[in-house]
Structures are given as C-alpha cells and as structure tokens.
Chain A
C-alpha cells in the first residue's frame, strides 16, 4: 500500500514532442504528489507538485494531471527538449509521516 508504481521505465521522444509519464498509488491517505527530476551525477530536484484537491497543475511546459478516483497521476512535458533528458521520479507523501515514497523512475531521452 506504500508503493507508487511508475511507467514507462524508459521513454524516447523526438525534440518538440510530448513526453508522458504515468504513476499510480493505492494508499488514499497520500495527499501530496511531487515530481522530481534527476540528471546524471546529481541529486533529484523538485519539478512540480500537486495536491489532490485539483485535477491539473501547469508550470511552463510541465503539467501534472491528477485522477483521484483512479488513484493515478501523470506528468506531461510539452515541446520536449534535449535538455529535458533525465530520470523522472513521481512521489507521494501524507500528513504525519516523515517519508516520501518514490516511484522507480523513468529515464527520458529527447532526441535532437
């Protein structure tokens, strides 16, 4: 119940295309869902986050879509650029718990 599932494991997209990464969870107590971006040799960095009281959040080219009833959320990267090539992790947390639960990651490669 503490798991967050993530797909696909890897993704190759042409420059200018849309990258879509999906995550699913079981525990309805989760109430905060961030996405982290990690470049090789670096630690993860927060990209965008959403709480379950909204169905969509957009920041620049990055959008989170959230489906509370299906317990799923996804990251959409519009106009994907080679500089977006990185590993993306979805995560979840809940009140009064000290940890974030991370998905296994999606390795995105954007071809020039």
Chain B
C-alpha cells in the first residue's frame, strides 16, 4: 500500500510569485484535503477535493486554488505569494470525504508536507 506522497519537499519563492504543490493520494482513497501548518501551529484547513471538484473550503483567499485529477492526485496552487504564506503545506487523503463519516474511522492520512519559504 503506497502512502501519501508530496512534492516538492522544500521550495523557496519570492513575494508575488506563484507556486504549485503536488500530492498523490494513498491507494484506494478518493478524497484529498489540503492543510497549511505555520511554524509552531496546528494545521489549518484550506480545502477538500472529491470527484475532481472542490468540496469544502476554509478561510483562505481565492488565490489559493486546487485541482484533483481522475487518478485522485491533487495540486495546490498559490498565486501572488505573500510572506505569510511561508508554511508547511500538508496533503491528506481519506477513504471518503470528511463530513460523510458514517461508515469509516474518519482518519486522515497525511503526507510529509511541502515546506514553502517566501522571501
């Protein structure tokens, strides 16, 4: 069973640039969620993708956008980078969308994250 993999692991950008982060979900998982984890903080929900559509969004501006592909992998795109966007970006996959927990354990499987530094 392949776990959640993310790329790149580290990257440095300058303010105003754009970045794309990639995530491959765990085998058999059809839902991907993205979280932002600032240094010393807990993860903050950005959005969730299910069946290639955004299915829930946290309190993040529209310059944070995403995609999900037919193989359930996903991308997170951030435009017009700001200094405060510096964080660890975590991708998590699940058997079914969070919010539908009726049958499964409700577990999120996280990748190791992409560490973004904005200068």
Q: Which of A45, A93, A102 contacts B98 (CB 8 A)?
A: A93
Per the CB 8 Å criterion, the residue count for chain A at the interface is 27
A25 part of interface (Cβ distance < 8 Å): no
**Stretch of A36-44, A59-67, A70-78 with 4 or more beta carbons under 8 angstroms from chain B:** A36-44
Closest to A32 in B: B106
B2 part of interface (Cβ distance < 8 Å): no
Q: Would A44 and B106 be within 8 Å (CB), given that A98-B33, A99-B48 are in contact?
A: no
Range of interface residues on B (Cβ < 8 Å): 20 to 34
Does B56 contact A99, Cβ atoms closer than 8 Å? yes
Q: Would A97 and B41 be within 8 Å (CB), given that A42-B112, A46-B107, A46-B108 are in contact?
A: no
Task: Collect the chain B residues with CB atoms within 8 Å of residue A94's CB.
Answer: 99
Closest to A9 in B: B40
Chain B, interface SS category: loop
Task: Collect the chain A residues with CB atoms within 8 Å of residue B99's CB.
Answer: 93-98
Does A89 contact B43, Cβ atoms closer than 8 Å? yes
Closest to A89 in B: B42
Q: Looking at the assembled complex, report how far the CB atom of B4 sits from the nearest CB atom of chain A, in whole angstroms.
A: 7
Does A100 contact B41, Cβ atoms closer than 8 Å? no
Interface readout for A83-96 with B: 1 if CB under 8 Å, 0 if not? 00000010101111
Interface residues of B (CB under 8 A from A): 4, 33, 35, 40-45, 47-48, 55-58, 90, 92, 97-99, 101, 105-113
3 shortest A-B CB distances, which residue pairs? Answer: A98-B56, A43-B110, A102-B42
Interface residues of A (CB under 8 A from B): 4, 6, 32, 34, 36, 41-46, 49, 89, 91, 93-105
